[in-house]
Amino acid sequence: MTRKAKLRGLLIVGGIVAGSTLGDVAVLEAQTEDDPIVRLWASPTELSMRVGDEARVIIAGYTRSGARVEDPVVRLVGPRSAMRVRQGVITALEAGDYELIATLVQEGGASAGEPVTLRVPVSIGWPTVARVVVSPTTDDRLFAGTSMRLRARAEHADGSARRDPDVAWESGSPEIATIDRFGRVTAVAPGTATITATVDGVSGAFTVRADPFTGASIEITGGVSRARTGDVIDFGAEVRDPGGELLNGVPVEWSHAWEEPEGILAPPAPAQMHGSRFVADVPGIYTVIADAGPLSARTSFRVVERDVVQKLEIHGQGREQRVRTTDFWVFEGRDGRDYALTGAKRSDGFGFVWDVTEPGNIVKTDSIQVDARSVNDMKVSPDARYATMTREGASNRRNGVVILDLADPAHPVIAAEVTDYGLTGGVHNAFPTDEYVFALAGGDKYVILDVADIYNPRYVGEYNHPNSRLHDVWVLDGLAYSAEWENGLVVVDVGDGRWGGSPENPVFVSSLPVPTGGTHAVFPYVSESTGKHYVFIGDEIMSRRGLAWEGPGQGRGSYQLPYDPETGMNGIPLATQGYIQIIDLSDPEAPEMVARYEVPEYGTHNIWVEDDILYQAYYEGGVRMVDVSGELMGNLYTQGREIAVFKAYDPIGYVPNSPMAWSAMPFKGRIFFSDTNSGLWSARLVPRSRPVS
């Protein structure tokens, strides 16, 4: 048997590779040329870990003749939310029972026969609880007859928190205060009581004090007489004693009731309240109720349909059926005409240039080829002086970022290629400003380049968030916002200066992990209507594993290739899940999740927000325009905020009749979007006709 070893040293982060829709993908070393491998073996054969532990898995192969191959080329994957997989090292992230899947890389790719796979059971438990910290959820005082909620944080020895701990609550003086199994403490009489929370035999305590309740009246303040679905309404409550004096800090419990309009049956949740803030999902007559001890007040108002739907006109298509279209950017060139640059997967390193001056007549003017398997990202500087073109899968494994000179925008030329400073391993995204490029390096950090001279980019700094994995970065007013998978949103001062940051010295500001652990895209936005600073972040979960509709082709990866009529293989669309999470960043040091946009049975991709409209590429769910005016709370999808939806069914697309929206961008009154299976599209929202006064 002859054996040829190929050192790969390649980590594909967040990508989808043949045979995998589960998450991280690590390519290990070596492959054979003959006597094919027919079986894989792992050491250890199963893993038992605790969250935070690391373990190395070694994969060997056995050929048809029984020979052992120590380092076969395999793809090693695990559920992204549960474990991080990097070059054979497994890091446990979430407790539960899972599988690690090794798939042999065969010549010819996914269509070269049934893949050789191995499944390694992985059992992950939580670390031992070291301490339990109990604290109130509000600053309110407790009075006899009122209630408030306590929280218990179960911490491990390293300070990390146990997710969803099973807490046993107990009151040391139930004649003073009782507590239910959810941490809601109710004062029975004036006095003090010690409340204990226990998790896995470890306890923490908090002492509550109940004062006599002297309130005689309660009145609701704020509110409206009429609102639309999706409008956030703020209420307040004033509790006064018999002499009319205002009592401060009295806990108030808020609730609401709904009366259906004629002909509408009650939905399961017509509205929601967060403290004293209210938002309705459906029209009707609502009553908001405020309770404080024995006192109660209520106010009623009407909610009507938001009524924001508009017609979407499709104007043109730059069809691309040979490759999978990826990210794009539309810009006005220095010659006064409008252009778009598009990237592509499986394109042998080609990106494309389109003249979109006439949106109904999109014309390809040129192509740019670099040494790459895929070009995932194309972006243009605000001054349209240059563009960034990212590379993955270069033949010499030196990927990096390519700088394009846009002096002739119809025919860009390569000004520079930057492959040092950690950019060698693959650049999935980049963000250009007039002066700097923020380029992702191997999914681990972003490198900051000075591009005053685009023919001689100069390294000035970088930021690498600890124990994180990076997929996207966006810079606005000196703050860099990055999407860091299980670590969620990370905010860094790269020129704002309030935290002492600059491009040469990035300074961490804050971070906010999110529940799904799949933070993939980010877009900061200052609301036109409220001035509030929001950040929109999106999941990317490339499977529907565990859901009732798992979708076609799970685990085979053949959706990456167009349909082959001779073999009847491939051409299978993706099946995704995930949603947009909306963060209030009015205080950059204290980000707070306030709303979401969640469309059932689809998964999100890239985001753009402008003029209080969210332009969302929602993969199989198409491109979607959503009203994000006013304050945001709850699920925008259920509030009637969707303006228009379009799914690009192209009968001769890369995968025919399979919508797969990748990116969207408004430009000069038009909406451009890329669909991975059908190319670049242009559209326009038709203004709503208004009655003549």
- The domain spanning residue 270 has which CATH number? 2.60.40.10
Binning pLDDT at 50, 70 and 90, where does residue 30 land?
A: very low
Residue type, 644: A
Q: Where are the beta strands (DSSP E) in 540-603?
A: 580-584, 592-597
Whole-angstrom distance, CA of residue 573 vs CA of residue 544: 13
- List 124's β-bridge partners, or say none: 49, 96
What is the total count of domains within the chain? Answer: 5
Name every residue whose Cβ is closer than 8 Å to that of residue 118 and which is 6 or more positions away in sequence.
39, 40, 41, 42, 59, 101, 102
Of the three residues 168, 188, 211, the one that is the final residue of a domain is: 211
Mean pLDDT taken over the chain: 88
Whether residue 550 lies inside any domain: the answer is: no
Per the model's pLDDT, the better-predicted residue between 654 and 546 turns out to be: 654
Same domain, 7 and 82: yes
Quick one: pLDDT at residue 8? 28
Instruction: Say whether both 100 and 134 belong to one domain.
Output: no
pTM for the model stands at: 0.85
pLDDT above 80 (res 1): no
**CA distances (Å), origin 493, targets 136, 462, 503, 524:** 32, 12, 8, 14
Question: In the block, which residue shows the tokens 């006899």?
Answer: 144
Domain with 290 in it: 217-304
Mean pLDDT of 630-641: 96
Task: Determine, yes or no, domain membership for 680.
Answer: no
On whether residue 656 sits in a domain, the answer given is no
CA distance 201 to 352: 62
**Does residue 32 have a pLDDT over 70?**
no
Asked whether the predicted pLDDT for residue 686 surpasses 70, the reply is: yes
Whether residue 310 is contained in a domain is answered as no
- Residue 688 located in a structural domain: no
Q: What is the pLDDT of residue 443?
A: 81
Q: Does any domain span residue 39?
A: yes
Question: Does residue 372 sit in the same domain as residue 429?
Answer: yes
Residues 327 and 299 in one domain: no
Residue that is last in its domain, among 192, 211, 230: 211
**Under 8 Å between Cβ of 474 and 449:** no
- Establish how many alpha carbons lie within 13 A of residue 83's alpha carbon, considering only the half-sphere containing its beta carbon: 37
- Both 478 and 445 in one domain: the answer is no
Residues in the chain: 693
Answer yes or no: do 402 and 513 share one domain: no
- On the question of pLDDT at 489 being above 60, the answer is yes
Asked whether residue 115 falls in the same domain as residue 238, the answer is: no
Euclidean distance between CA atoms 677 and 656, whole angstroms: 7
- How confident is the model over 573-593, as a mean pLDDT? 91
DSSP E strands, 428-471: 430-432, 436-441, 445-450, 458-463
Considering only 159-163, 258-262, 284-288, 611-615, which range has the smallest mean pLDDT? 258-262
Q: How far is CA 467 from CA 58, 94, 423, 484, in A?
A: 23, 15, 18, 10
The model's confidence at residue 2, banded by pLDDT at 50, 70 and 90, is very low
In Å, how far from its chain's centre is CA 200?
A: 33
Residues 59/41, Cβ–Cβ less than 8 Å:
yes
Query: Backbone phi, then psi, for 181, in 5-degree steps?
Result: -75, -5
- Determine which of 76-85, 105-114, 491-500, 657-666 has the lowest per-residue pLDDT on average: 105-114
So what's the pLDDT on residue 5?
A: 30
Alpha-carbon gap, residue 689 to 104, rounded angstroms: 59
Check residue 588 and report its DSSP letter.
T
**Per-residue pLDDT, 267:** 65
- Decide if pLDDT at 33 tops 60: no
Confidence class of residue 550 from pLDDT cuts 50, 70 and 90?
confident
pLDDT band, very low/low/confident/very high, at 3 (cuts 50, 70, 90): very low
Is pLDDT of 177 > 60? Answer: yes
Same domain, 300 and 175: no
Specify burial of residue 103 (Cβ count, 10 A radius: 0-12, 13-18, 19+): buried
Please say if the pLDDT value at position 69 is more than 80: yes
Q: Residue 569: which pLDDT band, with cuts at 50, 70 and 90?
A: low
388 falls within a domain: yes
Q: Are 479 and 508 in contact (CB under 8 A)?
A: no
d(CA 495, CA 27): 37
pLDDT on residue 437: 97
User: CA neighbours within 13 Å on the CB side: how many for 625?
Assistant: 24
Kindly tell me if the per-residue pLDDT of 166 is higher than 80: yes
Judgement on whether residues 137 and 207 belong to the same structural domain of the protein? yes
Q: Is the pLDDT of residue 263 over 90?
A: no
For residue 562, is it within any domain? no
Arithmetic mean of pLDDT, 565-592: 84
Residue 175 structure tokens:
């004649």
Give the mean pLDDT of 289-301: 96
Q: Tell me: the pLDDT tens digits for 354-373? A: 999 999 999 999 999 999 98
Are residues 362 and 354 in contact, defined by beta-carbon separation less than 8 angstroms?
yes
Cβ(492)–Cβ(508) below 8 Å = yes
Q: Please, what is the end-to-end C-alpha distance for the chain in angstroms?
A: 87
Q: Which of 298, 261, 293, 295 is nearest to 278 (CA)?
A: 298
Indicate the residue among 91, 125, 159 that finishes a domain.
125
Say if residue 471 is in the same domain as residue 602.
Answer: yes
How far apart are alpha carbons 537 and 296 in whole angstroms? 39
Cα angle 519-350-385, degrees, rounded to a multiple of 5: 80
Tell how strand 117-125 and strand 47-50 pair up: parallel
Paired residues of 368 in beta bridges = 351
Instruction: Identify whether the C-beta of residue 353 lies closer than 8 Å to the C-beta of residue 410.
Output: yes
Question: pLDDT at position 444, please?
Answer: 85
| One domain for residues 199 and 119 | no
Statement: residue 19 has pLDDT above 60: no
Residue 152, domain CATH: 2.60.40.1080
Identify the pLDDT of residue 28: 39
Instruction: Find which of 46-60, 82-96, 621-635 is predicted with most confidence, using mean pLDDT.
Output: 621-635
Q: Compare 544 and 383 and report the one with higher pLDDT.
A: 383
Same-domain check for residues 139 and 102:
no
